[in-house]
Amino acid sequence: MTNSIELKDIEKYFGTNRVIPKLNLTIHQGEFITLLGPSGCGKTTLLRMIAGFETPTSGRVLLENEDITSLPPYKRNVNTVFQNYALFPHLNVSENIAFGLKQKGITGEKLTNAVKDVLETVQMGSFINRKPKELSGGQQQRIALARAIVNQPKVLLLDEPLAALDLKLRKQMQFELKQLHQQLGITFVFVTHDQEEALTMSDRIAVMNKGVIEQLDAPQELYGHPKSRFVADFIGENNTLSGTYNGTHFVSEGFSIPISSTVPKGKSLLFIRPEHIYIHREHPENKHKIEAKVIGKTFLGNLWRVRCKISNGEMVDVSVKPDEIAKINDTDTVFLSWNDQKSNLIHNQ
Amino acid sequence: MFLKLKPSFYLLFLPLALWMLLFLVLPYTRVFIQSFYTIDDFGVLQPALSFDSYKRFFTKELYYFTLFKTFGLSAVVTAIALIVSIPLAYYIAFKATKNKTLLYTLIILPLWVSYIVRAYAWKIILGEEGILNSFLQFIGFIDSPISALLYSDLAVVIGMVHIYTPFVLMPIYTSFEQIPTSLVEASKDLGANRFITFFKVVLPLSLPGIITGGTFAFVLSLGDFLAPNLLGGSNTLFISNIFQNMFGTSNDKPLGSAIGIVLLVVVLFVLDMSSRAEKRYSSLNSDRT
């Protein structure tokens, strides 16, 4: 697999404030990669460095092995879909889309055909003469997308492009973006703070926190095996138990669970997702179990969420199917068990 | 749309209404009526319904030619003020980061100084024994002072450009400030360098501000009589100088009034055109509503 974008030893200061400390990232040709993280984690800054709107304080940006660190945005073969679409309000749909092609000297029939084709791709063929203000948010989104991809960039950068859309439209656009990615075969770099969006769309996700990539993995891997507390908390819901690993057992106040792991001995964290925990009224056979007291239950629609308190004082949330919830009452003493494969132990410095 | 307001609320409008009536409506009505009056041999006003003053204005070359000249010079002042203001406003809005407020204050600072003081300042600079002549003599560029500097069209244009540039710059700067950075970035992202971005994105979007600024300069220049008076002397007459003269030494109030009315109509026409143009080109603002 060839490299599309390489970020080498990137460092970025805003004034004296270091927003990105020494970061390395390699993006493969044609992949859909998502930079995911809370606001202020540096994900947008990273995207803007690829686009050329920010220059790294030190380090290099490579596009297909060519150093583009000091190249201005208009000389880079990448295009951006902006968060607020940034369509030119004084130009109509076709003029907006033709803007980039005109800069490349494309005119006449070739230009008109390219505009028509891309409008078909985003299913906006009949809107060619509209002004941006005459379009809805979702339609503007498609035009912004068309305006970028018509230039056939090597990389398409998407800066939280779906943030302003309502939930239903967002789901629809997620699906369409994914399809478009497969259809075009170009590299997509997507920025979002929405972990669900990242999980459904990406080939790989880089979870960022305070300018650092905490984990870079495929969605399933990221969900199943978070490598840090931040990732475990940020991606989906997770229960975190704190204790010590003695080489054979994870030990905490009032319980000890056998685990074989390569994690070094010492303080450690055990992550288990609510949906991987079974709740029992009787003592189960399973080795991975703890005693707990039911604190409360919440209705979530398709599931119930039962909150339990375990012997070391930590809270554990458990997903329970509606037909089993009747058996569980507040202040009951229950047993929680899980499959060894589904829990995740990490070292805690 | 009618708002239900307490009667006492309307009292707040009373001073304004009174002001408008006393200092705007009544004088204009008076001038309008007077423009149809005649004067007798002793210069005394005679109430009448005569178009004589208008006829004299449009047939005597000195009068209508001065109106054209006023138009021409005002257009020159407007053009220069725009050429100065647009790059300056662009620099302050997009390039200056730390000194933004300082620069902007420096631009509007002259507005705090009396108009007459500013006009006189140019008299001191451009006069025969003025700063500019002394300087040029000092560096040996000229042997004897150039007398043509002051009391010329050039002096009037220089003075007016200086006086009216802040009025032009302010609305242009404001319209530059309103352009979202993302639009400028989008343009660059799509392969346009900064010049193309300026002409294809920034300029079209700030057209309403440029029109407003240009209108300010043009309309204010049209009605100016002090700058021509102080810097142009008898060589450069603006239409307002003739107007002023008719109420002074020439004592021809009907003709003066007629000139006033013609100028008023012209200015109203310009304002109407400009507000139409502004609406037409305001793609940014209507986008927000």
Is residue B286 pLDDT above 60, yes or no? no
Q: Å from A15 to nearest chain B CA?
A: 13
Tell me the C-alpha distance between A342 and A273, whole Å. Answer: 8
Tell me the C-alpha distance between B150 and B130, whole Å. Answer: 9
pLDDT-above-70 percentage for chain A: 100
Q: How many domains does chain A have?
A: 2
pLDDT band at A43 (very low <50, low <70, confident <90, very high): very high
CA-angle at A83, arms to A81 and A85, nearest 5°: 60
Tell me the C-alpha distance between A169 and A172, whole Å. Answer: 5
Is residue A240 pLDDT above 50, yes or no? yes
Tell me the C-alpha distance between B237 and B66, whole Å. Answer: 7
- Tens-place pLDDT, residues B252-284: 889 999 999 999 999 999 999 999 998 888 877
User: A143 and A49, same structural domain?
Assistant: yes
**With an 8 Å Cβ cutoff, are B287 and A74 in contact?**
no
Whole-number pLDDT of residue B133:
82
Residue ranges of the alpha helices (H) in chain A?
43-51, 93-103, 108-121, 137-149, 167-184, 195-201, 219-224, 229-234
What mean pLDDT do residues A293-318 have? 90
Is residue A50 pLDDT above 90, yes or no? yes
- Tens-place pLDDT, residues A172-192: 899 999 999 999 999 999 999
Is residue B285 pLDDT above 60, yes or no? no
Q: What is the mean pLDDT of chain A?
A: 91
Is residue B78 pLDDT above 80, yes or no? yes
Backbone angles phi, psi at A54, to 5 degrees: -130, 145
Whether A232 is in a domain gets the answer: no
User: A275 and A220, same structural domain?
Assistant: no
CB nearest to B185's CB, from A53, A99, A133: A53
User: A321 and A220, same structural domain?
Assistant: no
Residue ranges of the alpha helices (H) in B179-252?
181-189, 194-197, 203-222, 226-227, 239-247
Q: Å from B191 to nearest chain A CA?
A: 4
**With an 8 Å Cβ cutoff, are B190 and A74 in contact?**
yes
What mean pLDDT do residues A57-75 have? 94
pLDDT-above-90 percentage for chain A: 65
Is residue B36 pLDDT above 50, yes or no? yes
- Tens-place pLDDT, residues B186-233: 999 999 999 999 999 999 999 999 999 999 999 999 989 888 888 887
Write the CATH number for A66.
Answer: 3.40.50.300
A–B interface: beta-carbon pairs under 8 A: 70
Whether A231 is in a domain gets the answer: no
**With an 8 Å Cβ cutoff, are A72 and B193 in contact?**
yes
**With an 8 Å Cβ cutoff, are A90 and B283 in contact?**
yes
Is residue B162 pLDDT above 80, yes or no? yes
CB nearest to A90's CB, from B193, B196, B204: B204
Domain end, chosen from A166, A198, A224, is at A224
**With an 8 Å Cβ cutoff, are A73 and B189 in contact?**
yes
B22 against B116, higher pLDDT = B22
Domain assignment of residue A331, given as a range: 240-347
- Tens-place pLDDT, residues A72-94: 999 999 999 999 899 999 999 99
Chain A residue with minimal CA distance to B284? A89
**With an 8 Å Cβ cutoff, are B190 and A99 in contact?**
yes
**With an 8 Å Cβ cutoff, are A74 and B189 in contact?**
yes
Chain A residues in contact with B180 by the CB 8 A cut-off are 84, 86
Whole-number pLDDT of residue B3:
63
Q: Å from B82 to nearest chain A CA?
A: 22
User: A268 and A316, same structural domain?
Assistant: yes
Q: Which chain B residues touch A if contact means CB-CB below 8 Å?
A: 180, 182-183, 185-193, 196, 200-201, 204-205, 281, 283-284, 286-287
Whole-number pLDDT of residue A222:
92
Instruction: Write out the two tokens for B144.
Output: 């004897």
Q: What ipTM, to 2 d.p.?
A: 0.84
What mean pLDDT do residues B163-186 have? 93
Q: Å from B98 to nearest chain A CA?
A: 13
Whole-number pLDDT of residue B287:
42
**With an 8 Å Cβ cutoff, are B287 and A132 in contact?**
yes
Whether A56 is in a domain gets the answer: yes
Whole-number pLDDT of residue B2:
57
Whether A186 is in a domain gets the answer: yes
Chain B residues in contact with A106 by the CB 8 A cut-off are none
Whole-number pLDDT of residue B289:
34
User: A220 and A257, same structural domain?
Assistant: no
Whether A42 is in a domain gets the answer: yes
Is residue B140 pLDDT above 90, yes or no? no
- Tens-place pLDDT, residues A320-343: 988 888 888 888 888 998 888 888
User: A160 and A63, same structural domain?
Assistant: yes
Domains defined along chain B, listed by start: 62-240+263-288 (1.10.3720.10)
DSSP A132: G
**With an 8 Å Cβ cutoff, are B196 and A151 in contact?**
no
Instruction: Write out the two tokens for A66.
Output: 């060519």
Write the CATH number for A325.
Answer: 2.40.50.140
Q: Å from B183 to nearest chain A CA?
A: 5
Whether A234 is in a domain gets the answer: no
Q: What is the mean pLDDT of chain B?
A: 88
Tell me the C-alpha distance between A86 and B205, whole Å. Answer: 13
- Tens-place pLDDT, residues A113-159: 999 999 998 888 899 999 999 999 889 999 999 999 999 999 999 99
Nearest in space to B63 (alpha carbons), one of B280, B288, B255, B270:
B255
Domain end, chosen from A168, A192, A224, is at A224
**With an 8 Å Cβ cutoff, are A89 and B283 in contact?**
yes
**With an 8 Å Cβ cutoff, are B284 and A132 in contact?**
no
**With an 8 Å Cβ cutoff, are B185 and A99 in contact?**
no
Chain B residue with minimal CA distance to A73? B189
Chain A residue with minimal CA distance to B280? A90
Whether A233 is in a domain gets the answer: no
User: A198 and A100, same structural domain?
Assistant: yes
Domain end, chosen from A224, A250, A266, is at A224
- Picking from B94, B179, B190 by the largest number of A CB atoms within 10 A of its own CB, the best residue to mutate is B190
Q: Å from A72 to nearest chain B CA?
A: 8
**With an 8 Å Cβ cutoff, are B185 and A103 in contact?**
no
Chain A residue with minimal CA distance to B205? A90
Chain A residue with minimal CA distance to B180? A86
pLDDT-above-90 percentage for chain B: 53
What mean pLDDT do residues B43-59 have? 88
Amino acid at site A23: L
Whole-number pLDDT of residue A205:
96
